[in-house]
Amino acid sequence: MKNTKFIFVMGGTVSSLGKGVASSSIGYLLQSRGVNLTLLKIDPYINVDPGTMNPYQHGEVYVLDDGAETDLDLGHYERYTNLTLTRKNNFTTGQVYQTVIMRERRGDYLGKTVQVVPHITDEIKRRILDVARGKDLIIVEIGGTIGDIEGQPFIEAIRQMRFDVGRENTLYIVLTLIPYIRVSGELKTKPTQHSVRELQSLGIQPDIILCRTEKPLTDEMKGKISLFCNVEKEAVITAIDVENIYEIPLKFHQERLEQLIIKKLNLKCDSLSIDEWEEMVYRIKHPEDKVDIAFVGKYTRLKESYKSLTEAFVHAGARLNLRVNLNWVDAEEINPSKVDHIFSHVNGIIVPGGFGERGIEGKIEAVRYARERKIPFLGICLGMQCAVIEFARNVAHLNDANSEEFCPESSCKVIHLARRWTKNGEIIERNEKSEKGGTMRLGAYPCQIKRGTKAYQAYNEELIYERHRHRYEFNNDYRKILEDNGFIVSGESPGGEFAEIVEIKDHPFFVGTQFHPEFKSRPLSPHPLILEFVKSAYEKGRTEKKHL
């Protein structure tokens, strides 16, 4: 195996410091210097994957091309590096134990006592090495915070790895919080000292400390952290709070972080080229105008559960020189008497994906408003399904139209459970009783686009691949009657079994997608449909202003 280098990123003091973005930023910088790398997220919880976890607790479930339901940090990894990751790039304690217990049952351990060290730690290392194969470098992010019980086997495994692959090939990075105490006007290093000491007690001496802080660290403070934590002063890096996360690689570069990593790991590199990225960050910070879009969701309290979508709007805004203001609307608050008031200030309406019945009628009402008032509309997954129901009820007069998800007894299930389909030649079957974790259409599927539609105008391509995560589908039995009323299926699976994109006639922009376009939006290549949607919302705002 070639000499792969390993960077391990851990978090100290508190959670939510942005380890995922920090790892992605390091990835971006090293990649911009020609390093062929990959990233891996290890989640210490016992769930086998985050697919069944509550978005309130876990944030977004990010879906990869291969259908893996992963931690939202994988979204950051893909956005910063443009890599297409696979299910191997994210694993959990649950998966590690599942493998080890399966082997034990099979008798592979030949009667030995199966233990955390070495059996669990060996399986962790095997998985890390498996992802790293063939790469110059891998960045491994350990979820959770140093000192968590769940994280211990992972910390132990990566401690051992320094011995296995050599000191010169490993680098330990810790991200900690330097709190600012307003009353005394001071930054405090003590929590960092404690976290690092805890890590040292587990046998790991960090090489680099990233200090998340509101205020720049003084030279003196860097000296103090260096002394107490046993790292060189140049390896104490200020990770200053920034307005938008895409600035972080630029800040890290200014702090000479990637130069330090290159030196410490003795990497062979090209010179840095980040002009395009700098330009994108500049546009986000200096928009020429703004556009207001209503975001009609269920989890509006927890914006993390729509991470990829909110980021996709940042990408589109950067391309168009616009600030996209998302007005968060709780679907349960919407009813016919309030719609005018709720949507009077917006130029576009988006209904994103979601599960469960709550807020559905409000979402359908939002669709009706967008359709009738000719407000640019984008419906994603559940949002597209709501658009189909709305059209069926109010235009095609199918009054009982509903989704099997919310109303299994409806006589007119325009959205229903697909029971059988093919993926890459393989037949997939399921029914109402199939396990929760395994019944969805997941990952990238091809979609053929009809010429002369809004979808074609956006993609300018006939065959695209987009990522899915849903159980229910458009019911083709109703296609004809809806089409007769002005409904358009502008994208479908190559065999025609699934409607993937829908539109309506005579509307400036009304598009629903069964897939999630947001998973493929990147800062330097915004998603074409989201871009078109924002563009038409902005156009609408401009024409209205002119008429005032």
Active site residues: 381, 516, 518
Q: Nearer Cβ to ligand GLN, position 66 or 150?
A: 66
Report, in Å, the least distance between residue 15 CB and ligand GLN. 26
Cα–Cα distance for residue pair 250/44, rounded to 1 Å: 30
Q: Which stretch binds ligand GLN (CB under 6 A): 214-222, 301-309, 466-474, 519-527?
A: 466-474
Cα–Cα distance for residue pair 203/71, rounded to 1 Å: 28
Under rule CB under 6 A, residue 527 binds ligand GLN: no
Is residue 67 within 8 Å of residue 78, measured between CB atoms? no
Q: Which stretch binds ligand GLN (CB under 6 A): 240-248, 332-340, 453-461, 469-477?
A: 469-477
Report, in Å, the least distance between residue 378 CB and ligand GLN. 13
Under rule CB under 6 A, residue 156 binds ligand GLN: no
Mask 389-428, x = binds ligand GLN (CB under 6 A)? ----------------x-----------------------
Q: Nearer Cβ to ligand GLN, position 206 or 379?
A: 379
Cα–Cα distance for residue pair 517/458, rounded to 1 Å: 12
Q: Nearer Cβ to ligand GLN, position 162 or 469?
A: 469
Q: Nearer Cβ to ligand GLN, position 58 or 470?
A: 470
Could you tell me whether strands 62-63 and 69-70 are parallel, antiparallel, or unpaired per DSSP bridges?
antiparallel
Q: Nearer Cβ to ligand GLN, position 77 or 498?
A: 498
Structure tokens, 534: 């924002």
Could you tell me whether strands 170-177 and 180-181 are parallel, antiparallel, or unpaired per DSSP bridges?
unpaired
The one among 39, 100, 318, 381 contacting ligand GLN by CB under 6 A: 381
Under rule CB under 6 A, residue 470 binds ligand GLN: yes
Q: Which stretch binds ligand GLN (CB under 6 A): 45-53, 119-127, 348-356, 429-437?
A: 348-356
Q: Which stretch binds ligand GLN (CB under 6 A): 33-41, 270-278, 347-355, 368-376?
A: 347-355
Is residue 13 within 8 Å of residue 145, measured between CB atoms? yes
Under rule CB under 6 A, residue 159 binds ligand GLN: no
Residues in contact with ligand GLN, counted by CB under 6 A, come to a total of: 10
Q: Nearer Cβ to ligand GLN, position 38 or 475?
A: 475
Is residue 512 within 8 Å of residue 364, measured between CB atoms? no
Q: How many CB atoms lie within 10 A of CB 417?
A: 18
Under rule CB under 6 A, residue 353 binds ligand GLN: yes
> Please, where are the H alpha helices in 107-204?
121-132, 152-165, 190-201
Residue 288 sits at φ, ψ, to 5 deg, of -85, -25
Q: Which stretch binds ligand GLN (CB under 6 A): 39-47, 142-150, 173-181, 350-358?
A: 350-358
DSSP letter (8 states) at residue 61: P
Residue 102 sits at φ, ψ, to 5 deg, of -60, -45
Under rule CB under 6 A, residue 69 binds ligand GLN: no
Q: Nearer Cβ to ligand GLN, position 442 or 504?
A: 442
Report, in Å, the least distance between residue 500 CB and ligand GLN. 13
Under rule CB under 6 A, residue 298 binds ligand GLN: no
The one among 119, 368, 413, 471 contacting ligand GLN by CB under 6 A: 471
Under rule CB under 6 A, residue 354 binds ligand GLN: yes
* Nearest to 171, CA basis, from 145, 137, 206: 206
Structure tokens, 447: 């979609």
Beta strand residue intervals within 279-351, DSSP E: 289-297, 322-330, 348-351
Torsion of CA 422, 53, 414, 516, to 10 degrees: -70
Cα–Cα distance for residue pair 497/488, rounded to 1 Å: 15
The one among 62, 77, 80, 472 contacting ligand GLN by CB under 6 A: 472
Q: Which stretch binds ligand GLN (CB under 6 A): 234-242, 276-284, 343-351, 352-360?
A: 352-360
Cα–Cα distance for residue pair 96/207, rounded to 1 Å: 27
Structure tokens, 39: 């990233």
Is residue 127 within 8 Å of residue 91, measured between CB atoms? yes
The one among 413, 469, 507, 535 contacting ligand GLN by CB under 6 A: 469
Q: Nearer Cβ to ligand GLN, position 169 or 439?
A: 439
DSSP letter (8 states) at residue 216: P
Report, in Å, the least distance between residue 356 CB and ligand GLN. 7
State whether residue 159 is helix, strand or coil: helix
Structure tokens, 119: 């059996």
State whether residue 187 is helix, strand or coil: strand
Cα–Cα distance for residue pair 158/7, rounded to 1 Å: 10
DSSP letter (8 states) at residue 82: -
Under rule CB under 6 A, residue 125 binds ligand GLN: no
Cα–Cα distance for residue pair 404/511, rounded to 1 Å: 22
Q: Nearer Cβ to ligand GLN, position 125 or 470?
A: 470
Q: Nearer Cβ to ligand GLN, position 469 or 540?
A: 469
Under rule CB under 6 A, residue 348 binds ligand GLN: no
Under rule CB under 6 A, residue 363 binds ligand GLN: no
The one among 228, 355, 421, 456 contacting ligand GLN by CB under 6 A: 355
Report, in Å, the least distance between residue 377 CB and ligand GLN. 16
Angstrom CA distances, 540 to 23, 207, 246, 328, 508, stand at 39, 53, 29, 20, 9
Residues that bind ligand GLN (CB under 6 A): 353-355, 381-382, 405, 469-472
